[in-house]
Amino acid sequence: MIDGMTGTENGSIAGDMTGGDAIRRKIEALATTLSLPTVRRALGTLEGEHPSHRRFGSDDIMDIRPYEPGDEARRIDWHTSARSGRPMVVHRQRRVTSRVWMLMDTGREMTGSCESGEMAWQVAANGLRMFAALSLRRSDDISLVCADSASITRVPFHGGFAQFEHTLDRALERPWDHPRNMDALLDYARRINDRNALIVLATDEHALGERQLGAIHAIARTHPMVIVDVETINPFAARQRTVADADTGRRLPAFLIDAVSKREVDTHRSYLAAQLEAQLHAGGSTLMRASSSEAMFRTFVRTVSVTLARTGFSTHPAAPPNALDATGKAGDRL
């Protein structure tokens, strides 16, 4: 099927770090720009929440102390302050998801090219970085899992965002010579015992069929779930690129690349994307779909903003850094 063509390179694949560094700086800037209450509220609404023993919530009181410069004014308990005769800050138990499971599809199909010139795995990895930046800001625990048809590997991780980036980079230094096994990865997700854990699944638009959607519905009934879905380039729009099939290496004949075929593939993909989003939404999952790291970043920011708007919570962070330059490269495969 031409619409499902993906690409691969022999040997270890290294990303274009010029654009990669730019988007990583934007991700880190977003996490530090948003206030901590905003981060907590956004992630908490996306994932569902449960009681923990961490501070800054609205449940049981953990401790009371005098107000100090730098404390949030909304933490002042006026009844306690009136009794003591001075402003008092109350720390309450907050409700959080304490663990985030990040499941990365590392099958050969993830080496497919995107419109930006990036490979699908690079866009998917940046999607995971966005969630990691906010989750680690909230002091959640992260479990990173990489899977293809040969193995499913849980990668040990401890530390902050810089350590997460290093761990993810090392995990993605691989030959990418095995196809995906999405059924096995979803079965792994289904077996996660912590019902309050957020599951973030990163893959491309060709990985999820009817059978996989059924499995996602089953997982979403027991876990909060986010799907990071990467759009690969339309092969009939790649006039300046060498388009080849991932499995056979055969190139797409130039005479097949025309506007009619491009429109048909675009229409077909748009229909499937709308169907996927509707089914995921009905099942309680959140879909983040984009064709580049820059577009994924905008989608992530929009998702966070919509989530906050639904809860009546607004924030006005500083403007993000300049947009990531997206340039294509000759020789990309689909």
Residue 107 has pLDDT above 90, yes or no: yes
CA pseudo-torsion sign 146, 151, 152, 154: negative
**Sequence-separated (6 or more) residues with CB below 8 Å from residue 273:** 205, 229, 231, 289
Closest CA to 174 of 234, 87, 103, 104: 104
**Sequence-separated (6 or more) residues with CB below 8 Å from residue 282:** none
**Sequence-separated (6 or more) residues with CB below 8 Å from residue 252:** 2, 5, 235, 238, 243, 244, 245, 334
Residue 75 has pLDDT above 60, yes or no: yes
Taking only the tens place, the pLDDT of each residue in 211-269 is 998 999 899 888 889 999 999 988 887 666 677 766 666 787 877 788 888 899 999 98
Paired residues of 226 in beta bridges: 200, 286
State residue 70's pLDDT score: 65
DSSP state of 50: E
How does the average pLDDT of the chain come out, rounded? Answer: 80
State residue 237's pLDDT score: 79
Query: Quick one: average pLDDT of 307-314?
Result: 63
Paired residues of 289 in beta bridges: 229
Closest CA to 200 of 149, 126, 131: 131
User: C-alpha distances in angstroms, 126 versus 164, 169, 203, 231?
Assistant: 12, 11, 12, 14
State residue 331's pLDDT score: 44
**Angle at 154 (CA atoms; ends 150, 117), nearest 5 degrees:** 70
CB atoms within 10 A of CB 284: 15
Between residues 323 and 268, the one the model is more confident about: 268
Q: Where are the domains positioned within the chain? A: 2-45+97-310, 55-92
Has domain 2-45+97-310 been given CATH number 2.40.160.40? no
Torsion angle defined by CA atoms of residues 130, 133, 139 and 144, in that order, rounded to the nearest 10 degrees: 60
CB atoms within 10 A of CB 42: 22
Helix (H, G, I), strand (E, B) or coil at 52: coil
**pLDDT cut 90: percent of the chain above it:** 38
CB 110 within 8 A of CB 119: yes
Query: Quick one: average pLDDT of 60-74?
Result: 73
Tokens for 139, please give them: 């002091």
User: What do you get for the CA distance between the two ends of the chain, in Å?
Assistant: 12
Q: What is the C-alpha to C-alpha distance for residues 136 and 188, in angstroms, rounded to an integer?
A: 23
